[in-house]
Amino acid sequence: MAAGCVIGVDLGGTKLLAGVVDPDLNVHHRAHRQSYGPTAAEVLDRVVDAIEEARSASGQEIAAVAVGVPSMMDQGTGVARNTVHLPLRDVPVRDLLAERLGLPVAVDNDANLAMLAEHRAGAARGCGHAVMLTIGTGIGSGAVIDGRVLRGATGAATEIGHMVIQEDGPPCGEGCPNNGCLESLVSGRALAREALRAAADAPRSELGRALEAGTEITGALVTELAHDGDPAARGVVALVGEHLGVGIANVVNIFNPEVVVVGGGVIAAGELLLGPAREVVARRALSPPKEVARIEPATFGAESGMLGAGLLALELAG
């Protein structure tokens, strides 16, 4: 194993992934956990537990740790601000973890770190202007402007998931007071919600049979059935892809990026999701930005966030 390893953690709304990362961005050990807990203490216990598992599996000195948090993060203090999916509001995540681990710890927004990894070494490599959407339980997002991650006045940019595309759309819920946000229409939860509707409408489809058999209808199940060719599941993924296309068309018009990278768990649907999104962008966005912007799946798939955290930890150790 290379010297100077670090641990990067992607703390998602549902799952967390910790990885031992070396300076060449190779991943040596991974530890998975469910992330959700009803209190901050329980969530942080899971983070520490996963880090300790990865650390002991590596049998190596760990130089630093970084954690991507699905929250607006105060960069100066390491405190989580408005967090939609986990009970971490106003929690000093960085200092609590540093104390428990006895290691230097850095924190950042999870999607900013996914953007960092894709910009350094993935689908947005070499781009001056790029946008990343990580679609999982909700939508995280990051943007690179003139080669640097956009942070905004107080480090709270870029919440593209909370961009309204349906003024009178469904409530976004869980910490967001808005409705018709991109996240309310495009996310693992939206996929599951639309799938329930489609299953009821098409009881003979695979999706309909799964519902009748009492199987829990999750985004992952819909994606699996869509890959297997079930028309009802494909329809649901395509519908969500079309909403995603409206959101990406907005991003293309606003940022004029070279690439929009789509990652997170929902990208497991691949072209079944991105194909309809690309068609909507081609139809609705402005020229020439829509001809310029590539729409690409994340090179590192669902691991962009963890690798970006690794990059941040390497900087801290460096």
* DSSP class of 268: G
**Among 27, 52, 284, 299, which residue sits at the site for a second copy (rule: CB under 8 A)?**
284
Binding segment (CB under 8 A) for a second copy, from list 5-13, 141-149, 188-196, 230-238: 141-149
Interface positions, 219-238, toward a second copy (CB under 8 A): none
- Could you tell me which of 181, 186, 184, 228 has the C-alpha nearest to residue 207? 228
Q: Cα–Cα distances in Å, from 248 out to 10, 263, 278?
A: 24, 13, 9
* Alpha carbons 245 and 241: distance in angstroms, whole number: 6
How many chain residues are in contact with a second copy, going by CB under 8 A? 51
Does 292 interact with a second copy (rule: CB under 8 A)?
yes
**Among 9, 63, 88, 157, which residue sits at the site for a second copy (rule: CB under 8 A)?**
157
CB of 289 to a second copy, least distance (A): 5
- 1-34 in b/e burial notation, b at 16+ Cβ within 10 A? eeeebbbbbbbbbbbbbbbbbbbebebbbebebe
Does 193 interact with a second copy (rule: CB under 8 A)?
no
* Alpha carbons 223 and 228: distance in angstroms, whole number: 9
How many Cα atoms are found within 13 Å in the side-chain-facing hemisphere of 51? 31
Binding segment (CB under 8 A) for a second copy, from list 15-23, 27-35, 215-223, 285-293: 285-293
Closest CB to a second copy among 126 and 318?
A: 126
Binding segment (CB under 8 A) for a second copy, from list 11-19, 21-29, 158-166, 190-198: 158-166
The site for a second copy (CB under 8 A) is made up of 72, 81-82, 127-129, 145-146, 148, 150-160, 162-169, 176-179, 243, 246, 249-250, 253-258, 283-289, 292-293
